[in-house]
A and B are shown apart, each in its own frame.
Chain A
Amino acid sequence: MIQTKPYDFMVKYTQQKEWIEGRGNFIAFAFFLGGISGGLYLAASYFDSLLGQFVAWLLALLMGVSYMIHLSKPFRFWRMFMKPGTSWIARGFIFIMLFIGFTFIQLILSQWVSGATAAITTFTVLAGIFAFAQSIYTGFAVSYVSAIKIWNSAILPILFVVCGITGGLAILLAIMMSGDHAQLVALENVIRVMLIAFAIIVGVYLWNTTYSSITAKDSVVRLIRGSLAPLFWIGVFFFGILIPIVISVSTYFAGEAATGLLITAVISEIIGGLALRFAVLKAGVYSPLLPAE
């Protein structure tokens, strides 16, 4: 057996820390906020909720702030537009800025120039495109890292975007709770479908990852029964999947849902989405540098 103390990373599977410890926590927050912001905007546009679109815009601003805190040199942020040709972080930064810009114009028009329907539609479509881009790019930024096998999966961008849309729908539910009953029922139905899709994609992602490589399997084992199991089972499974699904299904059969139950589902879904980003980033491990004995 190889015995080395100072450089464990050379002989053992080692967890990536740059994007999860210290300032690295803020990139997990940024990814989470980007996901729900994009998801909320798309959902709010579909259900015609101006307040929902405004909250999505605020969340995108928060995402930008979280990004800034993550950077060691935040005053150089403008340089992050420089290499969209190859860097997903640069592409994402452009998506966020365009989303914030187009949404801002759309909100102004919708609130104060409501007669300009053609312009509002145009900017809603543009903002919607970049809302989706902002939501999905976080998955691409992570999955592009071929060095970390659990991340290097084509399913991850889909998982992140579905999680973002589900979180966005949950927030929209909270916003529309006192509104039109028919719309609320329609929204609940969409959430039920998305929650089931989310649960399936989480399962497929983990299952698929276990046989993609030994290193990826090590990551999944950490999530399922290792040091990250509490985060995965309590955060992702219990809060992100189980509670919202139980509430959704029970309200489907019981008829009208109590406000308290819906709020519980919304908060639970948001916690689950955040836990998912942390769980995936924390599960990222590198293969040992030296060949196995």
Chain B
Amino acid sequence: MRWGMAIELKRCIGCYECVLACKAEHFLPPDIFWNRVLIGESGKYPTVTKLIYNVRCNQCADPPCVKVCPTGATQQREDGIVWVDEDKCVGCRYCMVACPYQMRTIYEDGNAQYFPGQGLTEHEKAGRELYPHQPGVVQKCIFCKERIDAGLAAGLTPGVDREATPACVISCPTKAMHFGDLDDPYSEINRIIKEKKGHQFHPEYGTDPSIYYID
């Protein structure tokens, strides 16, 4: 089993709903983003193309971040999900340097607030209780592994059942993102990748990302 994602670029309208869903799901502090939406333009008038890329940790099958981590804080599960054990991270930033996609970030200011000087919002207070983030450690997208684990325990199928699927995927209003098992040749995600010619970012890096983009 290897969880993966396929993103249809032409379906994405750049609404940032996936970014907000991720922020809310993981109670991410200010200036910390586990996924991002890049919006730009390509070409010259009159042949201008709008580009919208939705990016996050690629959950590489051969992740350099796992290899370079000196403490074992960055780990890869059997289902391919790469995550950071915050209790083990020393903040040496070797993983950030080693990630060719620059998809890792360090949470440094533990006192950062969304509305400085006005106190914490109820959401921030709840986050510090329910999903505390340690300052000084590296953070990244974890494919909402908590949702996947809870869903599987409840007999649900990630990518099919909403409760077991990453928050960004289920929040997308245009269904631009698909989630599923890359190792299952009959899975919906594999069908989409095959039929629509999905491609990975920079396959030449040899990391075998689990996220495929469809032009």
Q: Which residues of A contact B (CB under 8 A)?
A: 1-4, 6-7, 9-11, 14, 16, 18-19, 24, 27, 70-74, 76-77, 79-80, 82-83, 86-90, 93, 141, 144-148, 284, 286-287, 289-290, 293
Contact = CB atoms under 8 A, between A and B. Distances in A.
Shortest 8 CB-CB distances between A and B: which pairs? A72-B91, A72-B136, A147-B100, A90-B70, A79-B71, A4-B40, A18-B93, A89-B70
B68 A86 contact: yes
Nearest to B66: A86
Interface of B: 36, 38-44, 51, 53, 55, 64, 66-73, 88-94, 96-102, 106, 108, 135-137, 201-202, 205-206
Contacts of B101: 289
Contacts of A86: 66-68
Given A79-B72, A147-B97, 12 more contacts: A2-B51, A72-B92, A74-B90, A80-B71, A89-B94, A90-B70, A144-B98, A147-B99, A284-B97, A286-B100, A289-B101, A290-B38
Contacts, number: 121
A73 B136 contact: yes
A82 B70 contact: yes
26 contacts: A1-B42, A4-B38, A7-B36, A10-B38, A19-B93, A27-B92, A71-B91, A72-B90, A72-B135, A72-B136, A72-B137, A73-B137, A76-B88, A79-B70, A82-B71, A82-B88, A89-B94, A141-B94, A144-B98, A145-B64, A146-B206, A147-B98, A147-B99, A147-B100, A148-B97, A290-B53
Contacts of B206: 146
Contacts of A87: 67-70, 94
Nearest to A85: B67
Nearest to A94: B70
A4 B14 CA distance: 14
Given A10-B53, A147-B64, A289-B101, A3 B41 contact: yes
A53 B91 CA distance: 32
A82 B70 CA distance: 6
Contacts of A90: 70-71
B68 A287 contact: no
B215 to A, nearest CB: 10
B90 A71 contact: yes
A168 B62 CA distance: 39
Query: Which of B53, B67, B92 is packed against the most chain A CB atoms within 10 Å?
Result: B92
A200 B88 CA distance: 42
A14 to B, nearest CB: 7
B95 to A, nearest CB: 9
Nearest to A77: B90
B70 A83 contact: yes
Nearest to A91: B70
A147 B68 CA distance: 12
B201 A289 contact: yes
B92 A89 contact: yes
B61 to A, nearest CB: 15
Given A72-B106, A89-B68, A80 B100 contact: no
B141 to A, nearest CB: 15
A64 to B, nearest CB: 13
A2 B39 CA distance: 9
